[in-house]
Amino acid sequence: MLITRSLPFPPLQRRALTTLQVNLGYRCNQSCSHCHVNAGPTRTEMMSAELVALIPSVLGRRAIRCLDLTGGAPELHPDFRSLVRRARDQGVAVIDRCNLTILSEPGHDTLAQFLADHRVGVIASLPCYSAANVDQQRGDGVFERSLEGLRMLNDLGYGSGDPERSLDLVFNPHGPSLPPAQGLLEADYKRELGSMGIRFDRLLTLANMPIQRFSRQLELQGRLTAYQRLLEEAHNPANLAAVMCRQLLSVDWQGHLYDCDFNQQLALSAQGGVRHLRDLLDDSMVIEGDPIRTAQHCFGCTAGAGSSCGGALQG
């Protein structure tokens, strides 16, 4: 659901492209209540092998420094490992947005070792250090399985400050509120998880976007308008310089381009000359300076300390 505008969002323009964020498909082994892509075990949408094969060429042609793989559970794509290998062979940093429970799914017992061997950065969703809160958002037993996944990664050197085996956790509020201060919450996470023998590098705090599954829940509760007002009233103009859409392009499972993953879920395609992954192979296509398509949900990225795929925008 796209909310009708009340306040206009400030105009934005693209800077140099540094990150290609690719959604490999909506299939996932979980169905989380806050999931803005409505991913789950019954989803069948997956990027074709033909499109996956184009990604390394785009990375080289555009001198992109980071390939950010998401889903669903991106590891469920049959070409996930081959894509990671090719990107790493090109010297491109790779991020796997991992839900942690995939590491203990049948048939994925070698996944953690693969990630470590290829020096893949892991960004893992763990919305709380409390079992009750995590299981309420993500399903019964998910917290314990998430800890199991974290221990696997720790045993392979993740979470020890090694930049080639980085392990960052992601926090989302349980309801329609802004995330707390990232630094203070990170200290709480490190204390609580440390008591369980778990290590990680950084905590990234993200605001819940008023779109898709979360938006529908708020609408049913009669809380959607109030949450949108909260985001608008907390708008911080200083965050506009650092929002992720200025240096990132999002690619959906069909190869279409968007200014961010949230726009992708609302079918708000990029407005510049490039509209598809194949367009990025055309050297004549200059994307720096293109207008970025915005809507009311964008206030979720600029509210308070800000929110992006890399966490808070302000310290």
Q: What is the pLDDT of residues 62-96, one digit of tens each?
A: 999 999 999 889 999 999 999 999 999 999 999 99
- On whether residue 3 sits in a domain, the answer given is no
**Domain membership flag for residue 313:** no
19 DSSP 8-state letter = E
Average pLDDT over residues 165-182: 92
13 falls within a domain: no
Domain extent at residue 139: 19-302
Q: Classify residue 9: in a domain, yes or no.
A: no
Higher pLDDT: 286 or 315? It is: 286
Distances (CA, A) of 218 to 19, 30, 127, 156, 179: 32, 21, 18, 40, 17
Residues of the chain with pLDDT > 90: what percent? 73
Question: Does residue 182 lie within any of the structural domains?
Answer: yes
At 6 the pLDDT is 65
Strands 257-258 and 248-251: antiparallel
Is pLDDT at 120 greater than 80 in this prediction?
Answer: yes
Residue 310 maps to a domain: no
The answer to whether residue 139 sits within a structural domain is yes
Number of domains in the chain: 1
User: Tokens standing for 107?
Assistant: 């048939």
Q: Are 59 and 90 in contact, with CB atoms under 8 Å apart?
A: yes
- 253 — pLDDT class (breaks 50, 70, 90): very high
Question: Looking at the domain assignment, is residue 282 inside a domain?
Answer: yes
Is there a contact between 156 and 116 (Cβ–Cβ < 8 Å)?
yes
Output the domain CATH number for residue 70. 3.20.20
Tens digit of each residue's pLDDT (9 = 90 or more) over 14-38: 999 999 999 999 888 655 555 556 6
Residues 265-277 have pLDDT tens digits of: 899 999 888 899 9
